[in-house]
C-alpha cells in the first residue's frame, strides 16, 4: 500500500496542488498540500477502488482539507474566482485580452450558479475530472452530477450569450 500511495503522490500531486492554489492565496496551497498528503496517508486504507478512482478520492481529501482550513480560521469559503491569478507570460497577448474582457461576465455567471453546480463545473473544467470523478468528490450520484453539470453549462451559456442579463445581475 505504501508503494501505491507514493505512486498516487507522484501522479496526482501537481493536480492537487493546482486545485488548492486556485482556491487560496498567499502560498497557503503549499501548506495545505502537506495536510492533504497526511490525511490521505492516514486514510489510505479506506480507499476502495471499486467505488472510484484514486484521483477523485484525493480530490475529495483535498476538498475536505480546504474546507477545514476555512472553518478553522472562521473564514467564509471565498467565492470561487475571487482571487486574481498570476498572468502566464507565455500566452499570446490577444488571448489574455480576450480572457480579461470575458472575466467579469464569467465571474458573474459563476457566482450566479448554485454552489454545488459551480464546484462541479470547476472540478470538471479546471481540474479535468470526469463527471463521475467529480460526483465522487462531492459525494453525489454520477447521474445527478451529469444532470447538474449539464444545467450549469446551460446557465453559463445563457449568461455569457446574453450580456444585458449579465450586466443586470452584476448591478445587483
CATH code of the region 2-72: 1.10.1740.10
Query: What residue spans define the domains of the chain?
Result: 2-72, 93-171
The pLDDT tens digits for 64-104 are 998 888 888 765 555 544 444 443 344 445 555 566 777 78
Provide the pLDDT for residue 86. 40
On whether the CB atoms of residues 92 and 60 are closer than 8 A, the answer is no
What is the per-residue pLDDT for 150? 94
What are the residues whose beta carbons fall under 8 Å from the beta carbon of 122, sequence distance 6 or more? 22, 80, 110
pLDDT band at 165 (very low <50, low <70, confident <90, very high): low
Q: Phi and psi of 52, rounded to 5°? A: 160, 180
Query: Which residues, 6+ apart, have CB-to-CB distance to 170 below 8 Å?
Result: 104, 108
- pLDDT value, residue 95: 57
pTM over 0.75: no
* Distant-in-sequence, close-in-space partners of 53: CB < 8 Å, separation ≥ 6: 133, 136
More confident residue, 61 or 166: 61
Out of 3.30.465.10, 1.10.10.10, 3.20.20.70, 3.90.1150.10, the CATH code matching 93-171 is: 1.10.10.10
CA–CA distance, 66 with 123 (Å, rounded to integer): 14
* Pairwise CA distance, residues 60 & 138, whole Å: 7
**pLDDT score of 36 more than 60:** yes
pLDDT of residue 81: 42
Nearest to 12 by CA among 115, 121, 131, 133: 133
- pLDDT one-digit tens code per residue, 131-153: 999 999 999 999 999 999 999 99
Mean residue pLDDT across the chain: 81
Residue 114 near residue 155, CB atoms below 8 Å: no
Amino acid at each position: 500500500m505504501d508503494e501505491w500511495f507514493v505512486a498516487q503522490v507522484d501522479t496526482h500531486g501537481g493536480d492537487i496542488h493546482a486545485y488548492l492554489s486556485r482556491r487560496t492565496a498567499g502560498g497557503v496551497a503549499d501548506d495545505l498540500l502537506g495536510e492533504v498528503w497526511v490525511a490521505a496517508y492516514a486514510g489510505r486504507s479506506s480507499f476502495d477502488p471499486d467505488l472510484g478512482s484514486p484521483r477523485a478520492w484525493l480530490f475529495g481529501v483535498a476538498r475536505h482539507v480546504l474546507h477545514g482550513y476555512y472553518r478553522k480560521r472562521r473564514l467564509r469559503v471565498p467565492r470561487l474566482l475571487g482571487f486574481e491569478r498570476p498572468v502566464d507570460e507565455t500566452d499570446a497577448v490577444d488571448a489574455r485580452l480576450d480572457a480579461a474582457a470575458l472575466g467579469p461576465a464569467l465571474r458573474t455567471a459563476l457566482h450566479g450558479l448554485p454552489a454545488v453546480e459551480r464546484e462541479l463545473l470547476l472540478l470538471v473544467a479546471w481540474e479535468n475530472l470526469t463527471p463521475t470523478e467529480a460526483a465522487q468528490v462531492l459525494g453525489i450520484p454520477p447521474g445527478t452530477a451529469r444532470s447538474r453539470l449539464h444545467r450549469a453549462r446551460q446557465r453559463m451559456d445563457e449568461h455569457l450569450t446574453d450580456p444585458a442579463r449579465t450586466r443586470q445581475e452584476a448591478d445587483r
